[in-house]
Amino acid sequence: MGVLYDHYQAADREAATVRPDLGRTETPVLPGRPVFDGVHAKGIAPQVDLAELVGLIRGVPPTGDLVEVEEIYPPGEGAPQTDEEWEALPPDSPYLDGPGIFELPASVRDTLAEVDDERLPEPARQWAGADLAGVPILGGWCPPVPSSTSPARFSGT
């Protein structure tokens, strides 16, 4: 099936990792679920598809280093280090099958938030029709891009 992504924003890393086993953009919000401003962007991989949009906005070639992410869940400390430790993990370990929660750099958030409203339609149109590995990113549809001063997060499962 591949990796599926929810792109959302949280107040901070602690808030981003509350109940990591629950989805981030489901509606309606059920009791006990964390609430985030976000979008269902299941096939939009940050270091490929989102890098394409960031490159279009900045007027630079889309490379993976435009969107360098930092994994914040599962935490790096305590991660398996040896083959034996990996083999000893239970089948439901987030180190094996997610979810993984990653933080986007502030520069990506700023690029998306600071693009002029008048200028936004053109890179959005180009991005929505972009063809990566023979597959249109969005087939002409562009989701709303949240902007805020809080760091953007995404989760991949």
Residue 106 CB neighbour total at 10 angstroms: 13
Spatial contact of 110 and 147, defined as CB atoms under 8 Å apart: no
Q: Kind of pairing, strands 70-73 and 100-103?
A: antiparallel
Residue 149 has pLDDT above 50, yes or no: no
> Contact at 8 Å (CB) between 11 and 43?
no
Q: Indicate the pTM of the whole model.
A: 0.71
pLDDT of residue 91: 92
Residue with tokens 């889309």: 62
Output the pLDDT for position 73. Answer: 93
Residue 60 in tokens: 């630079």
Q: Is the model's pLDDT at 145 over the cut of 50?
A: no
Does residue 72 register a pLDDT over 50? yes
Domain range list for the chain? 5-156
pLDDT band (50, 70, 90) for residue 148: very low
Antiparallel, parallel or unpaired: β 131-132 and 5-9: unpaired
